[in-house]
Structure 1
Amino acid sequence: MRTSLNLGLYLSLCLSLYCSTFSVFAAQTTPVLSHAAKPAAWQSSIYISQAFNEVALKNEYDKARHRIRKWRIPVRVFIEHQVGDRALHTQLVQMQLTHLAEITGHDMQLVDTLADANLHLVFTRQSLWASEVMRLMGVKSAQNVHGSVCMGKFALNSKSEIERAWVIIPVDQAQMHGKLVACVVEEITQVLGLPNDSEKVFPSIFNDKTPQDLLTGLDFILLKLLYNPSIHAGMTAAEVKSPVQFLLKQWQSDGTIEHADKIVRQGQLYPLLGY
C-alpha cells in the first residue's frame, strides 16, 4: 500500500530539499539522456558493464580492485533518532527500503530494536557527526568525515557477503546542502554492495558531480545486476563478466533497459518530489 506524507511532513521535506541551490558540473563527454527516440548513451551494454565495474568492484576511499559484495541474509534496519522529525525520517527510509526491495527482490524491513538489526541507521546532528562516525565506523572512516555530507559502511564475511552495515546522516548538515533525501537514498543503496562514487557513471546517484537525488534508470539496472541470482558474492571482475553480458543482452531484447527510467520512477519518493 502506498504511504503518503501529511502536510506538515511534506512541507518539512520540501524545505530540506529546496533551501539551497545546486551547481552542476558535467564534462562535455558526459552522456546525456536523449529526448529523441534513439537510446540514451548510458543504455548501451558496454557503458552499463563499465559502470557496474566502477560502482560494484571499487571503493570510494581506496584504489584496490574488489570482489562482488552483496547481502545474502535479509536486511533488517534499525533507525536511531538523535534529532526531531522522527516520522519524516522513518517514512523516507521506509519508502527507499520498499523501492530497493522491489528492484532487487531482496528482503529488507525496518525493525524496532537494535538487537534485531544488521543495518544501523543514525539520524544525528553536525555537532555529533565526527564522534558518531568514530563510534560506529572506527578511526579510518572518521578520517573521511571532512568533505562528506553523510556516510555509509558495511562489513563482510570471508565469502564477501555483507553481514552488517551502518549509515550516519547529520540532518542539519544534509539540509544545509539540500541533500537530506539524497543521503537517505544514496547511503542505503550503497551499503547494498555498490559502494563507489565515480564521475564515469552518469546519470546516477553514484556520481557526486550530478544533481540526482533519486535512483536513475542506470541505477535501477545496476541494482538488478547485483542482486540477480547468477551473480554471487566473491566473484571477481573476470568471473562476473559473462553473467553481466548475458543479462544485459536479455534486458536489451525485452525492453528492460529501454524502459528503465520509466520503471524506476514508480518508487514512492518520485511523485512526492514532483516527478
Structure 2
Amino acid sequence: MTFMRFFLACLLLLGASTQMPPARAASDSFSTEELLEGFEKTVFGLEYRSWSWRPYLVKKFTRPVNFFVHNLSSRDRTRTVYRFVKEIGNRVGGLTTSIASDPSTANFEVYVVDRAQYEQVVRKDIYKSDRARVPGRCLVRVVSGRGGIKRSAAVIVSDEGEFLFKRCLVEELLQGLGPMNDDEALIHSVFNDSSRHSRFTVFDQIILNMLYDPRIKPGMSMKQTRQILPLVARDARRSVR
C-alpha cells in the first residue's frame, strides 16, 4: 500500500469512528414528566387572574377559530399574522384556523398597533372601559364558559423591534387558544416571560396538541385530566415531528 492510500484509509477509519449517531427527533427530547408539568403549568391558571372564567379549569375552542386582523400600526403586519394563523392550523391537530373577511364573523380578533395606540385600543376595543387596567407589553383577553372559549382578542405591538413583535404574536395568539398561564420553569416555552423564544417551539406545539386532543374537554379540572394525560402526551408527541 502506498503512503497516500494508507493516509486516505486512516482518514476514512477516523471519520467512521467519530461519526455522531443520528439525533433524536426534537419531540423526543422531552420526558413525559416535562410535558405533563408543562401542560399543567400553562393550562391551569392565568397570567392575569381577572381575564377568564374559572382559571383552574381547561379552556379551549370547540369550534373552528376564525381570525380577523385589524392592522392599525404604521407598518402593515397583516401577512405575517396570516402566516402564523396558518402555521397554528397546520401544527395543532383537532384545531381548525381560518381568516375572516369581516370582524362580525370572527371569534378571535387581532389588533396590531404601535405603542402609542396600545392603551387606547386595549381600553376601547378589548375591555370597552376607560378605567380598565392595561398590563404588559402586549395582551390577550379570553372570554370562556362551560362550553369552551367563546371569543378571544389580542393586542400586538408592532413598532418596538422584530423580537418583541414576533414574541408577542406567538405568545398572545397561542394563549388566546387556552394555555393562558406563564411559568419561569418552562425553559423550552414561549409561555415564560424570562425566555428568549419568539417562535412556536416544539415543546409548545406538543402542549397545544395535548390541549386540543378530543379527550381533553372544556371545564375539566387538573384532577380529571391526570388519568388520561400520559396517553394524550404520548399521542401529541408522535404527531409533532
**Smaller-chain TM-score bracket:** 0.7 to 0.9
**Where does residue 167 of structure 1 map in the other structure?**
154
| Mapped pair 1:124 → 2:109 | no
Question: Which structure has the larger Rg over C-alpha atoms?
Answer: 2
**Aligned mates of 1:247, 1:47 — CA distance in 2:** 13
Cα 1:141/1:201, change in 2 over 3 Å: farther
| Mapped pair 1:235 → 2:225 | no
Deviation at 1:217, TM superposition (A): 1.5
Deviations 1:13-69 (A, max 9, x none): xxxxxxxxxxxxxxxxxxxxxx98699997111121011011001100239751100
Q: How do 1:30-179 and structure 2 match up within 5 A? A: 43-62=30-49, 65-86=55-76, 89-105=77-93, 106-138=95-127, 142-145=132-135, 148-159=136-147, 161-173=148-160, 175=161, 178-179=163-164
**Residues 140 and 153, structure 2, Cα contact 8 Å, conserved in 1:** yes
**Residues 170 and 200, structure 2, Cα contact 8 Å, conserved in 1:** yes
**Residues 92 and 181, structure 1, Cα contact 8 Å, conserved in 2:** no
Amino acid of the residue matched to residue 158 of structure 1? R
Select the residue among 169, 191, 202 that pairs with 2:176.
Answer: 191
Amino acid of the residue matched to residue 57 of structure 1? F
Select the residue among 231, 239, 248 that pairs with 2:233.
Answer: 248
| Aligned-residue identity in percent | 21
CA RMSD of aligned residues (A): 2.7
Select the residue among 182, 185, 210 that pairs with 1:225.
Answer: 210
Deviation at 1:104, TM superposition (A): 2.0
Cα 1:116/1:178, change in 2 over 3 Å: same
**Residues 42 and 48, structure 1, Cα contact 8 Å, conserved in 2:** no
**Residues 184 and 192, structure 2, Cα contact 8 Å, conserved in 1:** yes
1:78 is paired with a residue of what secondary structure?
strand
**Residues 121 and 167, structure 1, Cα contact 8 Å, conserved in 2:** yes
Deviations 1:124-147 (A, max 9, x none): 1212211111113325994242xx
**Where does residue 14 of structure 1 map in the other structure?**
none
Amino acid of the residue matched to residue 115 of structure 2? Q
Deviation at 1:249, TM superposition (A): 4.0
**Where does residue 10 of structure 2 map in the other structure?**
none
Question: When the two structures are aligned, how many residues end up with a matched partner?
Answer: 215
Cα 1:124/1:96, change in 2 over 3 Å: same
Deviation at 1:231, TM superposition (A): 0.7
Unaligned runs of 5+ in 1: 1-34, 264-275
**Residues 92 and 184, structure 1, Cα contact 8 Å, conserved in 2:** no
TM-score (norm 2): 0.80
TM-score (norm 1): 0.70
Unaligned runs of 5+ in 2: 1-21
Deviation at 1:158, TM superposition (A): 3.2
Cα 1:178/1:141, change in 2 over 3 Å: farther
**Where does residue 32 of structure 1 map in the other structure?**
none
Deviations 1:161-201 (A, max 9, x none): 0011101112223x2x7311111111111100011111021
**Where does residue 9 of structure 2 map in the other structure?**
none
